[in-house]
């Protein structure tokens, strides 16, 4: 099959038909070719085959798109790595403003390159989440914060919820262990001002089980959080 055929078939098979059109497919094809090219000299992903990238990076990232809703939002991706889910979400929702945060600048170089080439509304932030979250320009300034494959949920909540404005949401894209992580994170969610409002469990083709957790920010995060990363890692809330 051609790239477009594989893309359209994969999205349709996973309930993502909204983003399954030839125009969007063309942008994802460009993203795929540039990803493989960049990956040849800078490690972004271990998955490089066409079908694998479409399912495990593109479709997986797009499972967060329905949580954006109809309004144009200010969105932060914490620990975006090589641009997932930021790049697929920005292709799907160019009306929103995306901020891609990661501590590895060389990975953000790829995100910035693709943002320019595909005219995507993405600002890259090469920094650590726990350091950026305490600054007035970013603390509780975002309508939606997303994160995928960064850390277990108790740690992730402390890194992400400080960015979310009261009334906004944090969406965590998790694998099969998402249920167990949620149980571990109950105290962290409450202490950081959050409240679980939805949980979606599904199977993403042969990539396996996925769990998406949607947490609403109902109270401001106490000023003591986030702590230094060493403390977050040593003693999760």
pLDDT tens for residues 37-46? Answer: 999 998 899 9
Pick from 17-26, 65-74, 129-138, 180-189: least confident: 17-26
> Helix 22-39 and helix 105-117: axis angle, to 10°?
150
pLDDT in tens, 86-99: 999 999 999 999 99
pTM of the model: 0.95
Residue ranges in 121-200 assigned as alpha helix (H): 129-132, 153-160, 178-184, 186-191
Rounded-to-integer distance, Cα 1 and Cα 19, Å: 19
pLDDT in tens, 150-188: 899 999 999 999 999 999 999 999 999 999 999 999 999
Predicted confidence at residue 106, as pLDDT, reads 92
**Closest listed residue to residue 109, CA positions, set 82, 89, 84:** 82
**Closest listed residue to residue 145, CA positions, set 60, 70, 67:** 67
Rounded-to-integer distance, Cα 183 and Cα 141, Å: 27
pLDDT in tens, 200-218: 999 999 989 999 999 999 9
Residue ranges in 14-99 assigned as alpha helix (H): 22-39, 50-53, 60-62, 86-92
Contact assessment for residue 44 and residue 129, using Cβ atoms and an 8 Å cutoff: no
Rounded-to-integer distance, Cα 58 and Cα 29, Å: 10
């Amino acid at each position: 099959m051609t790239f477009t055929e594989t893309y359209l078939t994969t999205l349709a098979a996973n309930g993502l038909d909204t983003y399954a059109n030839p125009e969007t497919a063309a942008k994802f094809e460009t993203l795929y070719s540039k990803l493989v090219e960049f990956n040849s000299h800078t490690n972004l992903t271990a998955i490089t085959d066409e079908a694998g990238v479409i399912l495990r990076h593109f479709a997986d990232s797009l499972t967060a798109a329905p949580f954006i809703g109809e309004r144009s939002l200010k969105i932060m991706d914490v620990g975006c790595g090589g641009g997932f889910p930021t790049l697929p979400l920005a292709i799907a929702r160019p009306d929103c403003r995306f901020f891609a945060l990661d501590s590895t600048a060389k990975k953000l170089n790829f995100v910035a390159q693709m943002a320019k080439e595909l005219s995507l509304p993405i600002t890259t932030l090469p920094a650590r989440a726990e350091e950026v979250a305490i600054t007035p320009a970013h603390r509780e300034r975002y309508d939606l914060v997303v994160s995928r494959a960064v850390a277990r949920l108790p740690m992730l909540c402390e890194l992400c919820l400080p960015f979310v404005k009261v009334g906004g949401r944090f969406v965590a894209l998790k694998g099969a262990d998402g249920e167990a992580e949620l149980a571990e994170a109950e105290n962290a969610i409450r202490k950081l001002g959050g409240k679980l409002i939805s949980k979606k469990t599904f199977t993403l083709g042969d990539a396996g089980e996925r769990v998406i957790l949607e947490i609403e920010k109902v109270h401001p995060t106490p000023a003591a959080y986030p702590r230094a990363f060493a403390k977050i890692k040593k003693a999760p809330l």
